[in-house]
Structure 1
Amino acid sequence: MVKGVLPEPGPLRALALATLLSRVGNGLLMTVSVLYFTRIVGLSIAQVGLGLTIAGLFGLLSAVPLGHLADRRGPRGLFVVLSLTVCGLSLVYLFVHTFWQFLVVSIVLTMVDRGAGAVRAALIAAITHGAGRVAARAYLRAVTNIGIMAGAGIGAFALHFDTGTAYRLMFVLDAVLSSIAAFVVLAIPRVAPQPHDDGGPVWIALRDRGYLAVAALNAGMSIHFAVLDVAIPLWVVDHTDAPRWTIALLLIINTVVVSLFQVRSSRGIADPSTAARATRTAGLLLLASMVLLAGATWGNAAIAVGLLAVGALVQVIAELLQSSGSFLLSFDLAPSHAQGQYQGVWNTSMSISTMVAPTVLALLPLGLGVPGWIILGLWFAAVGILSVPVVRWAAARQAAGQAAGQAGDQAGGQAGDQLVGSR
């Protein structure tokens, strides 16, 4: 699926280009948005945080229904419409002057954006197959990191000038890049809608206990993604003798390793069993990483930097394995006719993880210190170990359901033949 720098010609290449363009725009806004709303609009940090938290809660409501709509109407066209809507809504931020305006725009934008994420995953499922699907997601994740880095670099110019005009220009540039990205997606052939069984339940993903259990475990493991952004900066500054530039060093280690090795780490993950074992290994590596990060509180600056760097390296190796396993499980444990709805459930679980993670990190490593790091590491290890039997159970449920469905289809076909024959 992926060779060298570019994927093979086809739908994935168009989606990769669209991803790169849109993620450059994301990097721009990640760099300047908080400063724009606080320094230019005049909102307080507390208001911005509260608004984004409330918007995140509302965002949990949109992924499953919009994913289901992608199944019924086809993901490509819906993704383009939602992407363009996000572009328009991001520009509305330029006309925000009060907290309530900010809150309303944030809620609507987050709901549309979360839904677009589920529809995008359904589109990936439609244009890829088998092990190539994991490689495609890995490639797109590497492209995402590259795009965000590039966007952050461009956004640094706005930070340098620190004017309203410079910040607003970043919002406009984001909208332009993301709009182009949306139209690039039209180069992908149209994906046919999936047929729906009118006699069956509509929200099958919400009734699939095996899939829900695997998604919940993945969400519990994914708390580690916030360690680098939330816990590390405060830990380095308040609890170690490491210089402040160590924070940037750890971020560089993570970003570079993901960009270079995410695709390679996906090799060998070909079915739910191998994905579960990769998740188990990731959990054990995260335990080791948390111990190393905790150990940085002892010793001089050189020892602290060394332990932090090694801990970050071990963590990113775990991240590569867990991400690749997650890619496969989210797709392979879902029926092909309802990928959008199932991806909506998976994305919602990830959104919950993102919302919960700062609180968990504040209570454990930042609140308890070294014991908190150890508890967090043991949590990751336990989730990883538990993933193997839970994934096995979920896969068995899926296979049994498919067998029952095929038996029902065959019985229905035979009954129809008998009816025709009796006539």
Structure 2
Amino acid sequence: MPAVGPLRPLALATLLSRVGNGLLMTISVLYFTRIVGLSIAQVGLGLTVAGLFGLLASIPFGHLADRRGPRTLFVVLSLLLSLLALLYLVIGSFWQFILVASAVTVLDRGSNAVRFALIAGVTQGAERVAARAYLRSMTNIGVTAGAGLGAVALSFGTATAYRLMFVVYVVLGVAAALVVLAVPRVAPHPRADGPVWIALRDRGYLAVSALNAAISIHYSVIDVAIPLWVVEHTDAPHWAAALPLIVNAAGVAALQVRASRGIVDTVSAARATRTAGLLLLASMVLFATASVGDAVVAVVVLAVAALVQTAGELLQSSGSFLLGFDLAAEHAQGQYQGVWNTSTSVSSMLAPSVMALLPLGLGVPGWIVLGGWFALTGVLFVPIVRWAAARQLVVSR
């Protein structure tokens, strides 16, 4: 547990909200198709459109957090997000779904950028990495617990059970928002001289954000590529498709804080990300190898691959925690976190297509290409981060 202070209510709020997120992740698609009556194609298109609108939200809301202060803005956005989700209970058409999903996604992306600005405002230096690590552990625990609650609704399969889960999501979201009121207020930053959109002019930060987006594609390996790969290309029993996800979720929840302790500056963060890229390469090779042996060999290889992939993820995420904060201008953390959040959102949108094209489309060669991409991106972090940090130092003078 984090020490007594602003991080503790943030951790509790994260746990509560992520339980709600895990719940909706489990039931939402089935609710929209079975209860609302939308097709799978309509749900996919609606979420894609909503995601595109969400890309436009992070930077403006982050900038607003700089000007007005992040704590109250985060509480307001979180309350609006929770209450707006109630509209899912009354939608009855595809266009209504698009409108509500777009509004929810805009508030979700915006509040996430403001949340990062709040973390930056109540922590300093290496404390920020530890804070993000604690909160990521809470995220994994919460999503797992929420998925368990969602499974209860799925077992009943009734419209009432599905709708009740949306109500639970709203209650958890409101409670999480109110808990954040225990976090000290962060003073807004006055407008500095020079251009307003400073983060969009910071070429060093934009370059590192792009690299982070490129390597963050690995987050979709476990939940997008592995289930289909295990079922269609290996002799492992179908239950083994869940094994890497379980290993990953447990590893991140238990070890994220420990993995972040050695990352104290941009140099160590870049080196950790380089190591992460090489570990991700090794794990991609292992996942590909699972298609060669019999059922027992496949299960063992999948488990080992998941352990190696989780080690890479722990280092990559810890490095990104520090780089996203330390390479940003202190007076515009909200705006910079909006840029960082936007880059990861782009990565999340592109990742399923990459999975379909490379490992699922090309098979073993696709896995090797994907691993090489991660390794190359990780290696590039060291020189690019060095350049961005040097450029930041010159600008600050």
State TM-score, norm by structure 2.
Answer: 0.99
Alignment match, 1:384: 378
**What is the aligned counterpart of 2:294 among 297, 300, 303?**
300
CA–CA distance in structure 2, aligned partners of residues 114 and 152 of structure 1: 21
**What is the aligned counterpart of 1:263 among 244, 257, 262?**
257
CA–CA distance in structure 2, aligned partners of residues 375 and 183 of structure 1: 46
CA–CA distance in structure 2, aligned partners of residues 200 and 210 of structure 1: 18
Deviation at 1:384? 0.3
CA–CA distance in structure 2, aligned partners of residues 315 and 111 of structure 1: 31
Deviations 1:355-400 (A, max 9, x none): 0000011000000000000000000000000010000000000011
Deviation at 1:126? 0.4
**What is the aligned counterpart of 2:19 among 12, 18, 24?**
24
Opposite residue 26 of structure 1, the aligned amino acid is N
Opposite residue 122 of structure 2, the aligned amino acid is I
Deviation at 1:306? 1.1
Deviation at 1:196? 1.1
Q: Does the 8 Å contact 2:327/2:392 carry over to 1?
A: yes
Deviation at 1:132? 1.1
Alignment match, 1:86: 81
Alignment match, 2:206: 212
Deviation at 1:250? 1.4
Q: Does the 8 Å contact 2:277/2:376 carry over to 1?
A: yes
5 Å-filtered alignment, 1:412-423, equals none
> Does residue 279 of structure 2 align to residue 285 of structure 1?
yes
> Does residue 29 of structure 2 align to residue 34 of structure 1?
yes
Deviation at 1:89? 1.1
Opposite residue 99 of structure 2, the aligned amino acid is V
Opposite residue 47 of structure 1, the aligned amino acid is Q
CA–CA distance in structure 2, aligned partners of residues 60 and 376 of structure 1: 25
5 Å-filtered alignment, 1:12-411, equals 12-197=7-192, 199-403=193-397
- Unaligned 5+ residue runs, structure 2? none
**Runs of 4+ residues deviating >4 angstroms:** none
Deviations 1:262-298 (A, max 9, x none): 0000011000000000000000000000000001111
Deviation at 1:163? 0.3
Deviation at 1:154? 1.0
CA–CA distance in structure 2, aligned partners of residues 132 and 204 of structure 1: 25
CA–CA distance in structure 2, aligned partners of residues 151 and 291 of structure 1: 32
Deviation at 1:64? 0.1
Opposite residue 152 of structure 2, the aligned amino acid is F
Which protein has the larger Cα radius of gyration, Structure 1 or Structure 2?
A: 1
CA–CA distance in structure 1, aligned partners of residues 273 and 190 of structure 2: 33
Q: How many residues align?
A: 397
CA–CA distance in structure 2, aligned partners of residues 80 and 361 of structure 1: 36
Deviations 1:12-36 (A, max 9, x none): 0011111111111111101110010
Opposite residue 228 of structure 1, the aligned amino acid is I
Deviations 1:107-140 (A, max 9, x none): 1110111000000000000011111110110010
CA–CA distance in structure 2, aligned partners of residues 62 and 120 of structure 1: 13
Deviations 1:198-230 (A, max 9, x none): x41000000000000000000000000000111
Q: Does the 8 Å contact 2:227/2:242 carry over to 1?
A: no
Opposite residue 127 of structure 2, the aligned amino acid is G
